[in-house]
Structure 1
Amino acid sequence: MAVRAMTYNIRTGGSDGADRSRLAGVAAVVDRVRPDLLALQELRGFDRRRLAGLAESWGMTGHLARSVSGQPVGVLVRPPARIGSAGSVHRPFHHAAARVTVATDRGPLTVIGTHLQPYSGGWRLREAGWLAAPARPRRGTGVPMVLLMGDLNSLDPWTDHRERIDRLPPAYRSRHLTRGAVDTRAVAALDRAGFVDLFRRAGTGEVTHTAPTTRGGGAEFADMRLDYILGTPPVADLARDCRVVVGGDTEWASDHYPVIADLDLSLVG
């Protein structure tokens, strides 16, 4: 039995203000995909009660990590899984990082949902460093099972990005440059820490970018893959598939497409 993981930046809480809600579209996407593990970013206007209500509408339970300067993030799980422990990565993230543990037939799995700093590559790199700690080998048990999902706001170090950077409006280019070079340091740091890019390991489908969507806005993007599902090697070895979800409500519900991965394990209560 496969477990489906999904990450989705829903853009400003699924609402553009003035009754222009996209949350129904977000809900339709989640209902269509039916993830077992779901990381949500940009939960503007959400508190724990509101996230609990949204999670319940999907038959899930959730944990919210509040943000001091940005927007909250959340991690949701579907029964039979139960959240064994929950908390936040307590560092000065621009947005936040939520961490929960669930039981699986392969052992305990730590799920981290995060949203890295969009404007500063240096700050983004520090945030990536803070996320590396849970992946470190533990004495007596080896490398833990960790799934890291979210909008990392960083390009990957394995691709030539120069053409897409040149297509960006000048005001947005600096987000992805450091000393004139394309800034891929955050993803590279996570790779060095032992995280495996599941899209690179098991990716399928013709679409490789996660932002922008066709009708959800996103003038600051140029066909970029900014949303990732990463896993430590014990998790990456279980990856059957990883792909960007496109079409239908994904085209307008957000400026980001969701990413999903199917893992060869089972959740247990």
Structure 2
Amino acid sequence: MTLRFITWNIKTGGSGGRLDAVVELLRRERPDVLALQELRGFRGQKMREVAAAVGMTPFLAPSFFGQPVAVLVRPPLRIVAWSAVRWRLHHAAAAVVVPTAAGQVTFVSTHLNPFSPGRRLREARWLAARHRPAKGLTLIAGDLNSLDPGTDHTGRLSRLPEPYRRRHLAKDGAADTRAIAAFEAAGFTDLWRTTGEGDGLTVPTTEGGGHEFSEAGMRLDYALATDTVAAAATKARVLHGDEAEYASDHYPLAVDLDL
């Protein structure tokens, strides 16, 4: 069973006339499972309309402070269990359980705190514990707003204005990579590290804005998986061109899984 997974922050619900471009890209790429973030205004009818337009079944998690997130699945895949988290997170997390040939897989769409490295770390630790590998097959994905360990981020951070640079610095002034490190310490694999093609940079797009991102590009969107799911990943790539250049300030991240 080959499954295509996509995660995408669509920037404030595709406002400003961008939603048609979001839908067009998703129709063309036809993900089997889709994690979306920044779904402002999507509660109720709008979520149902977009899901119908792309031929998928949605589960949306509202947010108290930030913006909703969602996971959508394409029939014949089906959602057999679901849960939403909002009060522990600046944005939210939506989790669905989907039967596959490899067993039931939990797909999580989340969006971590964009402003505070410390709060972002707490969110990452909490989610990693909630979906720890011992609980089963899991893929956590979304806009994690964190830099990755093992990469020299000095040049990119130097190009950021001070208010935005602070979002990515630890107290000692070094690049803050603790959120991704927390997931890895809990047993999750960064699928870009194992199967990624190209440079992996997901922000900013060429025409979608993103003044808070380094002009040299940043990798802020991730797909993190437990061992069995990670072993099934065959390719991860950032989708460029056409609508992806202006539909959002984030590029979509696609992962192919052989389940």
**Residues 118 and 137 (structure 1 numbering): CA distance in 2 closer, same or farther, change over 3 Å?**
closer
1:12 equivalenced with 2:12 (yes/no): yes
Aligned partner of 2:13: which letter?
Answer: G
Give the percent of matched residue pairs that are identical in Structure 1 and Structure 2: 55
State the secondary structure of the residue aligned to 2:25.
Answer: helix
Shift of the alpha carbon at 1:46? Answer: 1.1
- Residue by residue, what CA displacement relative to the aligned partner does 1:155-213 show, whole Å, maximum 9, x if unpaired? 00110001000011222100000121110000000000111001101111x24210000
Distance in 2 (CA, whole Å) between partners of 1:135 and 1:201 is 21
Which 10-residue stretch deviates more, 59-68 or 47-56? 47-56
What TM-score do you get using the length of structure 1 for normalisation?
A: 0.93
Distance in 1 (CA, whole Å) between partners of 2:195 and 2:133 is 24
| Counterpart position of 2:254 | 260
1:203 equivalenced with 2:203 (yes/no): no
What TM-score do you get using the length of structure 2 for normalisation?
A: 0.96
1:146 equivalenced with 2:142 (yes/no): no
Q: What does 1:242-253 correspond to in 2, within 5 Å?
A: 242-253=236-247
Residue from 159, 162, 167 that aligns with 1:167: 159
| Counterpart position of 2:17 | 21
> What are the ranges of 5 or more consecutive residues in structure 1 without an aligned counterpart?
none
| Counterpart position of 2:51 | 55
The answer to whether the 8 A contact 1:244-1:258 is kept is: yes
State the secondary structure of the residue aligned to 1:181.
Answer: coil
Divergent runs of 4+, >6 A: none
Which 10-residue stretch deviates more, 184-193 or 24-33? 24-33
Residue from 81, 98, 105 that aligns with 2:101: 105
Q: What does 1:30-179 correspond to in 2, within 5 Å?
A: 30-89=26-85, 91-138=87-134, 144-179=136-171
- Residue by residue, what CA displacement relative to the aligned partner does 1:204-248 show, whole Å, maximum 9, x if unpaired? 1x2421000000000111100000011101100000100100111
**Residues 86 and 49 (structure 1 numbering): CA distance in 2 closer, same or farther, change over 3 Å?**
farther
Distance in 2 (CA, whole Å) between partners of 1:137 and 1:159 is 25
